[in-house]
Amino acid sequence: MKILLTGAAGFIGMTTTLRLLARGDEVVGLDNLNDYYDVTLKESRLNRLTSHPGFRFVKMDVADRTGMAQLFEVEKFDRVIHLAAQAGVRYSLQNPHAYIDSNVVGFTNILEGCRHNKVQHLVYASSSSVYGGNTKMPFSEHDSVDHPISLYAATKKANELMAHTYSHLFGLPTTGLRFFTVYGPWGRPDMALFLFTKAILDGRPIDVFNYGKMQRDFTFVDDIVEGVIRVLDRVAAPNPAYDAALADPATSNAPYRVFNIGNNNPVPLLDFIACIEDAVGKKAEKNLLPLQDGDVPATYANTDALNDWVGFVPGTSIQEGVGRFVAWYREYYKV
C-alpha cells in the first residue's frame, strides 16, 4: 500500500514506518521537525528511514492547508496513519495555540485530504488523556469522556468527534487509538523514562509527582506499533449492533471505531523507577512533589475491544522494555 504517515520523525512514527517498510509498503513520511524537543534526535530518527527505497520524506506542517491539500491530490494515498500532533499535557498550559494549530486545524486538513482523495482508511492517534477526570478503572472506550483536564486532552477528544463527523457524512473509515504512556528506545526527551534515566546517570535528583502515588499503563513501543498496523489493515466498519438510544462512544452506525491501546497492566511509578535503577545500576535521589496541573494519578487501559477486533495482546514486560531503553540511551548518548 501507499501510506501517508504524519509525525514520521517522532518516536512512534519512526518505529511504525520501519515496520511498514519492512513488509513492503511505500511510505511518505511527513513532519515539520519543530523544536518542541531536540531536533537532532528527530533528524537521527529520520536518518534511519531515508536509506530505504520505499520511503520519501516531506517536511511540512499539517496545519499548512494549501500544502496538505496538494500533497493528498498529487500522491493519492491508499491509507493514512496520522501521528503528528503537538504532544504533552503540561506544555498545553503554557502554549495553548500550538495545540489548536496542530491538533485541530491540522487534523481538519487530514480529514479533508482523506475525504477528497478517496483514502480507504484513516488511523489516527488519540490519547489516554481523554479520560481526564474519570476514576472508574480500567478505562473503557464505552465510558463517557466529557471531562478533560488539559487542553491537550480536549484536542484529542475533539479529533474523535471530528473523525465521527467525517465517517458519518462522507463514509470515511476512521479508527482512533487512545495511546497509553508509550515508552522505549528513541523515546521523547520530555517523557518520564528519558528524564529519569538522564538524571540518574548525571547524578541529579528526579522529580516524582504526587509523592510517588502514581500508576501508569506503560506500553512498549513495539507493542503499540503491532497494534497500529493490525488496526490499519482492518478497515473500520459500521457496528451492526449499534443502538443510537444507548450511544456507545466507541462505535457507530458509521464506519468509525475508537480503541484503547495499552499494556492492560498499570505499574506503580515507584516500581517503574526501581526498574530504571536496576537497568542503570544506580539509585535515584527522589524529589517528592505534589500532583501537577492537568495530570492524573492513574491510567489503566481496558484493551478487550482491541483484542476482539485485531487480536492485539501486548507482550513486553516493564523490566524488558526499560532495559532496552536504557541500553539504547547509553549507546546513543555514549554514557
Mark whether 152 is an active-site residue. yes
Per annotation, catalytic residue among 36, 124, 131, 152 = 152
* Residue 314: closest CA among 323, 299, 304, 324: 304
For residues 271 and 274, give the distance between their C-alpha atoms in angstroms, rounded to a whole number: 5
* Residue 286: closest CA among 209, 213, 206: 206
Helix 106-116 and helix 151-170: axis angle, to 10°?
A: 20
> Which residues make Cβ contacts (< 8 Å) with residue 102, sequence separation at least 6?
61, 62, 63, 84, 85, 86
CB 272 within 8 A of CB 318: yes
> Which residues make Cβ contacts (< 8 Å) with residue 318, sequence separation at least 6?
218, 267, 271, 272, 275
Pairing of strands 267-268, 215-216: antiparallel
Amino acid residing at 250: A
Could you tell me the three cell numbers for 176? 482512533
List phi, psi (to 5°) of 215. Answer: -130, 140
Could you tell me the three cell numbers for 146? 466529557
What is the set of active-site residues?
152
